[in-house]
Every structure is written in structure tokens, then in C-alpha cells.
Amino acid sequence: MSRNFQQMLGQVLAQEQIRMDEPMSRHTTFRVGGPADYYVEPDTKEELAKVLKLCQEQLMPCYILGNGSNLLVGDGGYRGVMVSLGRAWSGIRTEESKIYAGAGALLSAVAKQALKNALTGLEFASGIPGTVGGAVVMNAGAYGSEIAEVLKSVTLLTPGGNVLVSDPGELGFGYRTSNIPGRNCVVLEAEFSLEPGREEGIRQRMEELAAARRDKQPLEYPSAGSTFKRPAGYFAGKLIEEAGLRGLLIGGAQVSEKHCGFVINRGEATARDVRDLCQEVQRCVREHSGVELELEVRLLGEF
């Protein structure tokens, strides 16, 4: 780590907003991962813009972190700056049938706000563990619905430090993807456009989906949710099961016996265990069915 960079970072943020050698196992839902050189928590878009500009000028890698629910950080850690959009970015407000949510707000909290205001359209998101920012970037979805369907606009911070409001048609949404990372933009806020509904009906649908998750998904173990993207014309979990991989263990990582589309941390897994198991699953499925499974989880740092 560069003392010079540390001093420059201290000119942008207060000392309590900067942590050194922060274990990423504390900040990912896999509960694995070595230390990030720097872990920072900017409170305003001005601070965020200054941090990103500093990283760009000093050629320091940086990564925007939400809830860490789609991320696998290597055991060797991350040689750069983890930029956490947490509590200061978690505001949620409702205006008629619109909900405005900061990038750090949990998607489940936004869904609860919709329920509270009898607005329908976000029931599918009530069990997704990520933040609004991460959900927008990857067009998160579940049970046949996805974020792009309920977005009205997204407020972005551009690489030049400007604030830009974009409509969904400008963001290149596809299956678990958008053009936001390619443009080096950062989500600041999302505006959701919902429909008036019956609170009881919305609650019932959320409870049905929650029961389905409990029944079919290994929620009792750390994981990153669905580990692999759904291949066109197939289901990842079914392909993995047909390849005979249910329950496969490497170290402390396991293909869930409850749902083969999930790789879980049995309690003592390392990031390398998880990565190696994912690679073994990809190899076996490729040999068995000829289908190339693509990771939905992002790998970052040193393994």
C-alpha cells in the first residue's frame, strides 16, 4: 500500500470513513474473502466523485460495493479501493406511485416500502438480497420478472463527475446485464414506477414467494444466490444435477443438495474452494451436456 495514496485519500475523506486491510469476508454474502487494501465509505456524491477521480489519477483499482451478494473476493484480498455505498445511500421515499431509492438501499426494503404503500410490481424483488445499485447494474430478477420492467429512471455519476438521469431504454438492459459498467458510471438512485394495488394481495404474493424460496433454496448457508446464469433453453440447476454433481464438495464449498444451482459455504470454505468448485461444475456440465455455464457471480481480487 502507498503511504502517499493513503495521505491523498485522507484529504478527500474523514479518517473514520477509511479502513485499511479490511477483510472482505465481512462484506460478502459468501462470507469469504481476504483484505481490501482500502475500504472507504463516502457519504455524498461529491465525496464519491473525488474518490473515483483520485483512483483514476493514481491508477488505483477501485470497485463499487453494495451488499456483496453477487461477489467472490479472493483469499489474497483486493489490491485497490473498495468503495462502499452503505447507510448514507440507503434512503427510500414514495411519491404517489413512484418510489425513489438510493443505490445503497436493500432491494428487500424497497419492496417492503411498496407493500406499505399498496404499490404492486416489486413483489418478485422482496427476497433478492442485493442493493438497488447492484440490482440495477445487473438487471436482477426472479420468478420471471426483472428490475428493468419497473424502472422509470436511473441517476448515474459519470466518469467525469457529472450527474446524469437516464431512462431504462438508454441502459442496454439484457439478461443479468446493463451497459452501466461499460460506461464506467455509478448508480446513485433509481426511480421505480409501480401500480396501485391491494395491500393484502401484495403481501400474499410476497409470502408465497418467500415460502417458495425457503422450500427450494439453501437460505441457511452463506452463498451468492444463483451461482450461474441461466443458459438459453436450459436451467443451470437441472444441468448440474443431470451431470451428477448434487452435493459435490471441494473443501468447505458445496453444490447445494437442496438446489443444484447454488454453490454454498458449508462454514469453513475459502474463496479458492468456491472458485474451484464453480470451475469443476462448469467442466463437468460442459462434458456431460455440451452447455457452457457462465458465472453470475463476479470474481475479484487475488486467489
Active site (annotated) includes residue 31: no
Q: Of 83, 77, 123, 118, which Cα lies nearest the Cα of 103?
A: 83
Active site (annotated) includes residue 296: yes
Which one of the listed residues 176, 213, 272, 286 is annotated catalytic?
176
Active site (annotated) includes residue 226: yes
Residue 149 and residue 156 in contact, taking contact as beta carbons nearer than 8 Å: no
Which one of the listed residues 25, 153, 226, 256 is annotated catalytic?
226
What are the cell numbers at 233?
Answer: 433453453
Burial (0-12, 13-18, 19+ Cβ within 10 Å), 157: buried
Q: Which is it for strands 298-300 and 141-142: parallel, antiparallel or unpaired?
A: unpaired
Active-site residue numbers? 176, 226, 296
